[in-house]
């Protein structure tokens, strides 16, 4: 019997699971039966009519946020607050990558399309989990040097028989939905610059929309539209003005240029990448998207004369046919804390003071929940959804936050709630028209910022413009332990009308998954400590959970086939917090087990037992470096290495913990890895451009210090 057929019958059969790891890219010839079956019906036959009316097809999940309104609400209710206790694992599919999994799966007419780390695409039979085809764009792993937040990808878009994926290295690829063969491929960025793509494309009226990331690395942000059939670029909307001497692309850029002053090398000419949120209102024919932070974060360096620096940290509305600017709302004028407004945007029609209003909702990083009239961008209300310390409130007369004195850290270090990872990051929230509540995966922890003594602009590495040592964790373990209870995360049900909390569920820590809500009075969310959980949507009561064996960051989704409702979530720990906050990553998040888990009522599938021991084996050499060298290494480490190897050299273990590295004993080998890129093919880029030999050695001295500290804590010397 062919494996594909067998897998369709017995999805949990071991051979079906191995297939993912073994399958070469575009493994189509070997699976004619499955492909023929998929091709028999028109595949991914999604068009404007279907997308605009997506609410009438609850069995499908045809675009990133399910509908153009991006509510992530499903009217399916076979699985509901009373039946959910019978929910069990229907099938699982192992993804052949070991980095963070952030994708929302798309399901159209029984076929599931998703991405894993490294922008790989998979098409699965959505009822059985059998692989139909897979596609590997062959990303060179050292491009992660330009990716702040892991080798992640948030998913595909489908349209008229094609599947579109934005690739980490800046390509946009159109695949044949039936076979996975490449139809066309375009490079959407200047690849000599540190651009990356992690966001999911959207398709509006035959145009594929894609943004990019990399603001603090030194790129100018924009959103582009490509013709779905030919791959030709139709329009591009820049978010910051660029070099004024080259002229402005449009009046919006001319307006933006008046809101900032450039200083050499790093300036208002860069930043503002569009790396995640988009939503569309077909009636108003407006496309909304969120804009990111500045290059560097610190405005004092970027725009020393002050200014709002449009369109950083803004929500912008444009015409989807032309990219013509219509309105904007800036959440954080003169942003200086990495407070992006790229977070999930939800559109809804809700009753406010007796009138139905067309609103847009966002809970961006800065900690405020915004309710905006989406016809013209008027602010309707704003309130903070976590306790914040950088501003007191939003002034309704001006629509601007009222900042706390000193919060801009120009006069001295300042600890701010929320941190640069925000009160809410990319993890999608959801909105239920039944309960009227928005379910936000909240982050709640602080970060310290400080003006650096001297700022060196290094295009191609992360430029925060905030002092790396001030932003690091305390050296003393007791002080770090005292920080642990501050590292909070929760599921927050927020009433957008009253701008008040309805209920909350505290999690073990930050960086939990995105949310899904359904007409079954349910909210689903995966957690950092390895659970997939269902709550009552109206009061937050915990009704059901399933152990996922890995931290979950991706949002769940739901669909139906032949009258059966499925709930599916992609699991696999990773992303920015996983890399940076190694000190506080709960052991239950690890290892990264990258999988699709799909559930239905009455199923009772089991996962194989993982065997993995998270630990660092300390074996550091004697310290030979001077105090000055260790200090220099500390500062360089925080500026250049921390984003991947973790704050204070404590890794989240997706990437090696340098305190256990054998290269600590091998200065020449260390130099070859760190400066020359000896491990480039595995994702450890060459940093010789920014580090001479003595600087690389200084980092080694610092790591030896941290390793010796770690060792002494792990094995206290017997008295
Ligand atoms: C963009 C992410 C990234 C950044 C930034 C980064 N590294 Fe790495 N590094 C990696 C990855 C991934 C590996 C694992 C490579 C492998 O598996 O062979 C690695 C491996 C290493 C190793 C080998 C560890 C071992 O024993 O196997 C050393 C040493 C190292 N990095 C040092 C540094 C230093 C020093 C910096 C800062 C100057 C730095 N790295 C910055 C991603 C990064």
- Alpha-carbon span 681 to 601, nearest angstrom: 44
Residues of the chain predicted below pLDDT 50: 1-40, 264-266, 717, 719
Residues near 712 by beta carbon (within 8 Å), at least 6 away in sequence? none
- Alpha-carbon span 355 to 358, nearest angstrom: 10
- Alpha-carbon span 481 to 268, nearest angstrom: 39
pLDDT in tens, 440-461: 999 999 999 999 999 999 999 9
In this structure, the number of other CB atoms found within 10 A of the CB of residue 230 comes to: 12
Chain position carrying tokens 């620096």: 309
- Alpha-carbon span 281 to 401, nearest angstrom: 27
Residue 645 in contact with ligand 1 by CB distance below 6 A? yes
Residue 655 in contact with ligand 1 by CB distance below 6 A? yes
Q: What value does the CA radius of gyration of the chain take, rounded to a whole number of Å?
A: 24
In this structure, the number of other CB atoms found within 10 A of the CB of residue 694 comes to: 10
Question: Atom 40 in ligand 1: which residue has the minimum CA distance?
Answer: 641
Q: Supply the pLDDT for residue 276.
A: 98
Q: Supply the pLDDT for residue 16.
A: 40
CA distances 675 to 23, 702, 705, Å, are 35, 16, 21
Determine the distance separating the centroid of ligand 1 and the alpha carbon of 139, expressed in angstroms.
18
Determine the distance separating the centroid of ligand 1 and the alpha carbon of 645, expressed in angstroms.
7
> First CA to last CA across the chain, in angstroms?
66
Residue 144 in contact with ligand 1 by CB distance below 6 A? yes
* Mean of per-residue pLDDT scores for the chain: 93
Q: Supply the pLDDT for residue 314.
A: 98
Chain position carrying tokens 């992530």: 72
Sign of the alpha-carbon dihedral angle for 674, 677, 680, 686: positive
Residue 653 in contact with ligand 1 by CB distance below 6 A? no
**Among 155, 157, 156, 21, residue whose Cα is nearest residue 98:** 21
Q: How far, in whole angstroms, is CA 362 from its chain's centroid?
A: 16
Determine the distance separating the centroid of ligand 1 and the alpha carbon of 696, expressed in angstroms.
12
Question: Atom 12 in ligand 1: which residue has the minimum CA distance?
Answer: 683
Residue 643 in contact with ligand 1 by CB distance below 6 A? yes
Contact 236, 251 (CB under 8 A): no
**Among 113, 102, 103, 101, residue whose Cα is nearest residue 62:** 113
Q: Supply the pLDDT for residue 610.
A: 83
Residues near 133 by beta carbon (within 8 Å), at least 6 away in sequence? 26, 27, 28, 31, 35, 122, 123, 179, 180
Chain position carrying tokens 């990399």: 214
pLDDT in tens, 157-183: 999 999 999 999 999 999 999 999 999
- Alpha-carbon span 48 to 228, nearest angstrom: 12
> How many residues comprise the chain?
719
Sign of the alpha-carbon dihedral angle for 546, 548, 549, 555: negative
In this structure, the number of other CB atoms found within 10 A of the CB of residue 183 comes to: 18
**Among 364, 393, 366, 365, residue whose Cα is nearest residue 381:** 393
- Alpha-carbon span 367 to 710, nearest angstrom: 34
Question: Atom 3 in ligand 1: which residue has the minimum CA distance?
Answer: 644
Residue 39 in contact with ligand 1 by CB distance below 6 A? no
- Alpha-carbon span 357 to 496, nearest angstrom: 12
Residue 699 in contact with ligand 1 by CB distance below 6 A? yes
CA angle 243, 249, 250 (to 5 degrees): 125
Question: Atom 10 in ligand 1: which residue has the minimum CA distance?
Answer: 684
In this structure, the number of other CB atoms found within 10 A of the CB of residue 613 comes to: 7
Determine the distance separating the centroid of ligand 1 and the alpha carbon of 27, expressed in angstroms.
32
Instruction: Please choose from 194, 578, 684 the residue to mutate so as to test ligand 1's pocket, defined by most ligand atoms within 8 A of CB.
Output: 684
Residue 462 in contact with ligand 1 by CB distance below 6 A? no
**Among 262, 254, 252, residue whose Cα is nearest residue 294:** 262
Residues near 384 by beta carbon (within 8 Å), at least 6 away in sequence? 367, 368, 369, 393, 423
Q: Supply the pLDDT for residue 445.
A: 98
**Among 585, 657, 663, residue whose Cα is nearest residue 616:** 657
């Amino acid at each position: 019997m062919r494996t594909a057929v067998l897998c369709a019958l017995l999805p949990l059969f071991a051979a079906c699971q191995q297939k993912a790891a073994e399958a070469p890219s575009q493994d189509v010839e070997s699976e004619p039966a499955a492909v023929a079956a998929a091709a028999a019906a028109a595949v991914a036959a999604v068009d404007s009519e279907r997308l605009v009316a997506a609410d009438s097809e609850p069995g499908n999940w045809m675009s990133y946020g399910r509908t153009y309104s991006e509510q992530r609400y499903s009217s399916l209710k076979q699985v509901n607050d009373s039946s959910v206790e019978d929910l069990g694992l229907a099938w699982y599919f192992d993804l052949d990558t070991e980095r963070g999994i952030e994708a929302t799966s798309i399901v159209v007419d029984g076929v599931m399309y998703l991405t894993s780390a490294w922008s790989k695409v998979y098409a699965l039979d959505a009822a059985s989990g059998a692989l139909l085809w897979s596609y590997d764009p062959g990303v060179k792993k050292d491009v992660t040097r330009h990716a702040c937040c892991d080798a992640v990808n948030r998913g595909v878009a489908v349209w008229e028989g094609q599947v579109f994926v934005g690739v980490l290295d800046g390509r946009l690829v159109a695949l044949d939905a039936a076979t996975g063969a490449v139809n066309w491929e375009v490079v959407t960025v200047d690849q000599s610059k540190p651009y990356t793509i992690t966001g999911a494309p959207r398709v509006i009226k035959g145009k594929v929309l894609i943004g990019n990331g990399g603001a603090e690395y030194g790129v100018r942000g924009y959103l582009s539209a490509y013709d779905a059939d030919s791959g030709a670029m139709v329009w591009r909307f820049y978010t910051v003005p660029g070099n004024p001497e080259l002229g402005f692309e449009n009046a919006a850029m001319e307006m933006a240029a008046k809101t900032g002053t450039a200083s050499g090398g790093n300036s208002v000419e860069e930043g503002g990448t569009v790396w995640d949120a988009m939503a569309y209102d077909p009636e108003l024919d407006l496309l909304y998207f969120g804009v990111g932070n500045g290059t560097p974060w610190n405005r004092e360096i970027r725009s020393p004369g002050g200014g709002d620096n449009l369109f950083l940290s803004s929500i912008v509305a444009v015409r989807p046919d032309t990219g013509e600017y219509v309105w904007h709302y800036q959440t954080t004028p003169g942003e200086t804390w990495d407070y992006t407004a790229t977070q999930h945007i939800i559109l809804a029609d809700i009753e406010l003071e007796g009138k139905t209003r067309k609103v847009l909702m966002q809970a961006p990083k800065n900690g405020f929940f915004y309710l905006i009239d989406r016809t013209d961008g008027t602010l309707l209300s704003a309130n903070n959804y976590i306790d914040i310390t950088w501003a007191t409130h939003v002034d309704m007369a001006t629509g601007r936050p009222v900042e706390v004195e000193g919060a801009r850290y120009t006069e001295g270090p300042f600890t701010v709630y929320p941190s640069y990872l925000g009160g809410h990051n990319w993890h999608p929230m959801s909105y239920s028209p039944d309960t009227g509540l928005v379910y936000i995966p909240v982050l709640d922890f602080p970060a310290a910022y400080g003006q650096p003594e001297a700022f060196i602009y290094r295009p191609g590495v992360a430029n925060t413009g905030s002092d790396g040592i001030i932003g690091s964790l305390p050296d003393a373990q007791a002080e770090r332990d005292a920080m642990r209870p501050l590292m909070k995360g929760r599921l927050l049900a927020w009433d957008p009308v009253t701008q008040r909390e309805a209920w909350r569920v505290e999690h073990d820590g930050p960086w939990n998954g995105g949310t899904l809500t359904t007409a079954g009075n349910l909210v689903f969310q995966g957690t950092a400590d390895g659970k997939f959980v269902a709550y009552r949507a109206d009061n937050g009561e915990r009704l059901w959970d399933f152990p996922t064996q890995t931290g979950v960051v991706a949002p769940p989704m739901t669909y139906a086939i032949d009258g059966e409702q499925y709930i599916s979530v992609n699991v696999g720990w990773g992303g920015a917090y996983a890399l940076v906050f190694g000190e506080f990553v709960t052991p239950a998040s690890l290892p990264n087990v990258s999988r699709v888990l799909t559930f239905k009522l009455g199923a009772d599938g089991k996962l194989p037992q993982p065997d993995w021991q998270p630990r660092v084996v300390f074996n550091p050499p004697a310290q030979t470096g001077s105090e000055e060298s260790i200090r220099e290494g500390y500062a360089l480490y925080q500026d250049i290495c921390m984003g991947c190897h973790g704050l204070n050299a404590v890794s989240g273990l997706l990437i090696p913990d340098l305190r256990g590295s054998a290269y600590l004993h091998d200065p020449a080998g260390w130099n070859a890895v760190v400066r020359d890129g000896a491990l480039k093919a595995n994702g450890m880029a060459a940093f010789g451009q920014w580090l001479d030999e003595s600087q690389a050695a200084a980092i080694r001295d610092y790591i030896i210090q941290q390793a010796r500290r770690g060792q002494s804590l792990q094995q206290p010397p017997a008295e």
